[in-house]
Amino acid sequence: MSTARAGRPAVQRLVALAGPSSSRRPLHSSAAALIASSSPCRRRAAKGKRERVAYKVGDAGISNERRIFFANDIEAELVAGDQVGVEPGDEVAGLEAGRVVECRRSGSVALGIILASVVLGGRPRLLLLVPTGDIWPISPQDVQFVMPASLVSQKLSQACWSTELLEAWARGEEATGQEGEGGMMDARRQVVMVLRKVSKETEKMCARLLGGSEGGGSGGIESLWEMLAPPDPEQRGSITADQAAEHLLNVRTEAGSTNRIKVRPNTLPAFAAHTLLMRRPDLFVADPGDLWDSGTFLVRSRAERARLSDVTRWIEEATPEDKAVLDGFLIKARNAIQHSRQIGGGSTTTLTNPAPPGWTEQELTIIHTMIVRLFETRSVQQTPAEPVVLSVLKSLGSYPGEIIDQALLARFLRDIGMMPAHESLEASKVRESELRSMALNSTRIAGDGELLSGNELDDIRDDLTAHKVFVIDDPTATELDDGVSMERLPSGDSWVHVHVADPTRYLPPSHPLAVQASFRGSALYLPEGQVPLLPFKQLMEDLSLGSAPARDNGAQGVVTFSALLSSDGALRDSKVGIGWIKNPRVVTYGAVDEALGVPAGTSARPFGAPARKADLASRQLGGPLEPSEIDDLRALQELATKSRSRRMANAGFDWSLPTASISLLPPFSPLTPNLFDLSSLPKRPSFGVTPDIDYTVPVPSSTPRIRLSSNQVVAEMMILAGQIAASFCTDRGIPVPYRGTDKPQLVSLPGAGARPKTVEDLLALRDPLGMIDPFAMMSADILQRPSTVAITPQVHWTMGLVDPGAGYVRATSPLRRYEDLLVHWQLKAALASERGVAHPKPLDEGEVEALIHRSEPASKRVKRAGSHAVGYWQAGLLSSRLTGPPPSNYVVNEGEILDLRQPMIARVSGQTTATSLARDGTTPVYIPSLGASARLSAPGSKRFEAGHEVTVKVERAEQWPAPLIVVREA
C-alpha cells in the first residue's frame, strides 16, 4: 500500500461529520489533494537506494521535543534508552493499540499513534509513535484526545509494531524506530504521514472555526464563551469539544434548520475545537479527569473572566490609575511581609507596622488570582494566573535571587497573612474540585431540601435492642458508624451481626446533602481538621452509634448484615435487614487489645513532644470491660481469625509499612471553607500561631503477632458484611458499586536476583495471619492491579475474594463514604419491595453508573488530599529540624530524639528509576526512624536492590508543589 492510499481515507474518516445524506459541502475537500502529493519514499527511490548505517542504542541522542515534553516530570519519562524490564501490559479500554491520540505534558503537545501498552520500570505506559519517528513511553494520563479507531487501519497499525521488539529492548538492542526490515519501517512512514496530515488539517479547521460558519460571520471562541457563560456572574458552565465545534460551524445557521452541521465526538472538527479551547484557559478549563473520555471543558464564570481581565490590566499598568492599583498593593504587601518576618524573628517589641491595614477589593482580587495558581497546577493547560504571579513577585522585590515557583508563591501568601499557618490548603483544594466537578456535570445545588421523617420503614425493622453491640473505634473518632454483636447457638455455630448507622433513614438520593456528598466522595481527614461527608451536625450526632437520640425511646435505626459462622469460620448462611439497637457499648481499640492480651504498640517521638500535647491515647469510653464482655470479644476475635484464614487461603496480600502519625496542636478554628473562593478570603492580613506538631512513629514489635488486634477484628467483620451485602444484591440483580482487583501481573525487573518468581511464591511467604513482609512485596517481580468499580460482581483478588460471581461492596461506613450510602439506598429499596412496603424503587444501572462515575474520582481526590496533607506537615517539620534542635516548648525523651544532620538507616522500597533527562537516578526508600518514605538521589548508573539497607542523610524536604523528602547516601 502506498503512503497516499493509506493516508487519504484515514483523514477523510476523521473529518467526516454527517451521514451521506448531508447536503453540505464536504469539510475535507483539501485533504485528498494534500494526501495525494508525491511520496517522499518515491523521491528517495529516484536518487538510488541508500546504504543502511550500522546503529546501536547508545548512538542515539534524545530529541528536543522529547526533552521538552518530559521536562517538568522527569520520572514520567522513565528509562529512555534503557528499556530493560519492559513487558506487555494490559490495554486500557479506549486507548488500544492503533489509536491516534493527542498527549500533553509540561506545556507541550504531541500527536501520535499508540503502538502498544507495556509495563516499563514497574509502571503502565503507552508506547507512542510521534511524527518525528521517535517512540515515547507516555503515561495514560498524558492522553487528552482520542481519534476514531478507524483513522488508521488495524492492518497498518499492527505492521508498525511487534512484541518481539520487547525482547530486543531487554537485550539492549536498538529501540528508536529502526527495527525490522522495510515492511515495518514503511508502515511507520505511512502512519507518520497520516499524523502530519492530521496536524495540517486540524490547523485549517481551527481557522475555519475561528471565522464562524462558511463565508465568515461573528463566530469564534469569544462569542462561544459569551453564549455559554451563565447570566449569574459567579456561576460556571460546561461544554464538550464536539458541542463547541457544532456551535462554531453553525453560527449563521438558524436553529432547527436541516442544513445544520452535526459534529460527532472524536472527529476532526471536535479535535480542532478541543485545540482552540485548550488555547484559551482564561475562558475554558479542561476536565482534570479523563478529558479524552469526557471531552468536557469548564466554562469560566463572568466574574472570573472580569477579575482576570482587571488584574491583567493592572499589572500591565495601562493607565496611571492601573499603575496606582498595583503600586498600592505592592507597598501594602511589603509592609505585611516585614511584619511577618519580625514576628518570625521574635522582634515583637520593635514592630514597625504592628497592625497591617485591611485589603481593598482590588487588592483582594490580585491576591485571589495569585492563590488560584496553587490550585491550577496541571501542565496540560497553562493557567492565566501564571503571568500575574511572575509579574507581582518580580515587582515586589522581597525575594531577590529566588526562583519564582509554587513554593515561593505559598511563602509569599503566608508572609502577607493570607494563608492560615495551620492549613495545608488541601481542604480548600478538595472543595474547589468539588465545585468545579459540579459545574462540569451541569449540577447546581439550590435550597436546603426536605429530609425524610425517618419512620417510613419502621414497620419492617427488627428489634435488636437486647443485643450487646460493641462499637470499637479510635478515641478521637466522632463518626461512629458500625458495631458488632453475636449470638451463640447450641450447635456451636454463631450469628455475627454487623450493625451500621442508617443515614438513608432521613436522606433520600435526591436531597441536596446527598447530591453534594456524591461530588465529595468521602469525608476528608487532615492533621489540621476534617471535612465531613454530610455537613449536618445535628443529623450526624443523632446517627453516630452510641449517641442518645431523643426520639424512638433512645433506640437507633441501623442496617444489619448477619452471618451464620461455624466454629471454624465457614459462612453457612447470611441475611440483610434493618433494625433497632440501643445503648451500644462504645470502647476504644486500646481497651479491647488490653482486655484480649494483644501487646500494646509502642511509639517514639523523634522530634520531641509539644508541651501542650493533648494525649487521647488512654481515653476510656464507658468504663472497664466486664468479664462477660471480654468473653464475647474473645469469641469474636477467634471467629474473625478463622474467617480471615479462609478468605485468604489461596489469594490476597495484606501488608503495610509503619507510618508516622501527625497531629497539630493546639486545636484550631474550623478550616476555611475554600480559599480559592474570593468570598472566603480574609479581608485583612492575619498572622496566626504556628502549629506545634506531635510527630509519633510506631516502633515495630520484635515478636511476631499471633492474634488479630481489635482493629483487625473490626476490619474483618466489615469485610464479611461487604460480602453479605454483595451476595444480597447479586442474588436479586441489584446494581451497586462492586469493587475488585485482578491477580497481580508478573514482570521482569533488572537485578531480580533471588526474588520470588511467582505470585504463589509470595503467597507462601505470608504469616499465619495472612500478613507479608512489605519489603518482600516491594522487591517482587509483580505489578499490582489497580482497584476497579463496576455494577456487576467481580473478583477482588487482593482481598482473597476469588469467586467471580460473589462480589464485594463497601456498606459499613455510610457516614463517611458516599459509595456506602448508595448501597444502602439499593438494599432498602429491595427490602421494602420484598416486604410489600411502599418505597421508591432501586436506582437503575444507568443511574448507578453515573453516580459511580461522579463519586469515585471524588473519593480518590480526598484520599490523595489526606496523603498530601500528612506529607506537607511532615516535610515542613523535617525542613525546620534540619537546621537545629527542637524548640524550647518541646519535651524530649532521651534515646528518642533524632538529629536529621546525622546518617540514618533506610531500606530500599522500590526500583531505581533512571532517565535520559537527568543526571541522577532516584530510588524510593523507607526510613524506619522517621516512619516516612523518601526519594534517594544517586548517580544514574547506580542501582539499589529492594529490601536492602542503605545509610542516608536527609538533603532537603519540600512542601511544594508536592511533598517530597530527598536523601543521599551518607
Residue 406 cell numbers, joined: 509554587
Q: How crowded is residue 608: how many other Cβ atoms within 10 Å of its Cβ? A: 23
Cis peptide before 475 (omega within 30 of 0): no
Residues 6 or more apart whose Cβ sits within 8 Å of residue 914: 79, 82, 921, 940, 941, 943
Q: CA torsion 202→203→208→211, rounded to 10°?
A: 140
What distance in Å separates the CA atoms of residue 283 and residue 225, rounded to the nearest whole number? Answer: 7
- What the block records as the C-alpha cell of 388 is 500575574
SS3 of the chain: helix, strand, coil, percent, to 5: 35, 20, 45
Q: Compute the Cα dihedral for 21, 22, 23, 29 and give only its sign.
A: negative
- CA gap 80, 128 in Å, rounded: 13
Handedness of CA 908, 910, 911, 916 (dihedral sign): negative
Residue with cell 484464614: 645
- Count of Cβ atoms closer than 10 Å to residue 264 Cβ: 14
What's at 50, amino acid-wise? R
Here the contacts of 57-65 (C-beta below 8 Å, separation 24 or greater) are 57/81, 57/172, 57/173, 57/174, 57/175, 57/176, 60/176, 62/916, 62/917, 63/132, 63/134, 65/108, 65/110, 65/130, 65/132, 65/134
The DSSP element (H or E) to which 32 belongs, if any, is helix 31-35
| pLDDT value, residue 912 | 84
Helices (H) then strands (E): counts for the chain: 27, 32
- Strands of 758-846 (E only): list them: 782-783, 788-790
- Round to whole Å and give the CA distance between 246 and 422: 48
Residue 225 burial by CB count (10 A; 0-12/13-18/19+): exposed, middle or buried? buried
Indicate the DSSP class of residue 38: P
- DSSP-derived letter for residue 30 is T
Fold exhibited by the domain 902-969: OB fold (Dihydrolipoamide Acetyltransferase, E2P) (2.40.50)
Determine the residue type at 946.
A
Q: What is the mean pLDDT of each run of 10 residues along the chain (970 residues)?
A: 49 49 36 31 44 44 81 54 65 94 94 93 89 92 96 95 77 52 87 97 95 53 95 97 95 78 95 97 96 97 98 93 96 94 63 73 98 95 96 97 97 96 96 97 86 93 97 90 97 98 96 96 95 87 88 93 97 98 95 92 90 56 87 97 94 92 83 94 88 92 83 97 98 97 78 66 90 86 87 96 94 97 98 94 97 97 97 96 84 86 94 74 94 92 88 97 96
Backbone angles phi, psi at 440, to 5 degrees: -60, -30
Q: Write down the pLDDT at residue 179.
A: 46
Closest CA to 806 of 728, 748, 874: 728
pLDDT at 688: 78
pTM: 0.90
Other beta carbons within 10 Å of 283: 23
The Cα–Cα gap between 248 and 693 comes to 55
Please report how the helices 302-316 and 320-344 are oriented relative to each other, as an axis angle in degrees rounded to 10.
90
Q: How far apart are the first and last CA of the chain?
A: 60
DSSP of 438-465: HHHTT----S------S-TTGGG-EE-T
Cα 315 from Cα 406, distance rounded (Å): 19
Q: Residue 795: what pLDDT? A: 96
Q: How far apart are CA 336 and CA 625, in angstroms?
A: 56
Name the CA dihedral angle for 367, 372, 377, 383, rounded to a multiple of 10 degrees: -90
Grid-cell match 479527569, residue found = 289
Which cell numbers in the block locate residue 127?
A: 508506547
Output the nine-digit C-alpha cell for 153: 487501519
Nearest to 926 by CA among 798, 781, 778: 778
Amino acid at the residue 62:
I
* Lookup result for grid cell 493499540: 97
Contact in structure between 765 and 655 (CB atoms under 8 Å):
no
Distance CA 134, CA 63 (A): 8
375 residue type, one letter: F
- Residue 86: what pLDDT? 72
pLDDT of residue 431: 97
Distances (CA, A) of 851 to 190, 673, 819: 43, 24, 9
Give the containing element (helix H, strand E) for 137: strand 135-138
What SS3 state is found at 648? Answer: coil
What gap in Å lies between CA 154 and CA 553, rounded to an integer?
Answer: 69
SS3 call for 529? strand
Rounded distance, CA 543 to CA 468, Å?
Answer: 18
d(CA 160, CA 174): 15
d(CA 848, CA 734): 10
Identify the DSSP state of 407. H
Among 545, 543, 544, which Cα is nearest to 469's? 545
Residue bearing cell 520593635 = 350
585 forms beta bridges with: 470
343 is written with which cell numbers? 514576628
Q: List 922's β-bridge partners, or say none.
A: 913, 937
∠ Cα 878 880 885 (to 5°) = 95
Whether the link from the prior residue into 666 is cis, omega within 30° of 0, is yes
Per DSSP (E only), the strands in 153-276 are 237-240
Cell numbers at 415, concatenated: 508572609
SS3 of 410, please? helix
The neighbouring-strand residues paired with 634 are none
- Maximum CA extent, the chain: 97
Q: What is the CA radius of gyration of the chain?
A: 31
| Torsion angle of the four alpha carbons 120, 123, 127, 130, in this order, in degrees rounded to the nearest 10 | -110
> Where do you find CATH 2.40.50.140 in the chain?
902-969
| The Cα angle at residue 763 between residues 757 and 765, in degrees rounded to 5 | 85
Q: Report the alpha-carbon distance of residue 237 to residue 244 in Å, rounded.
A: 13
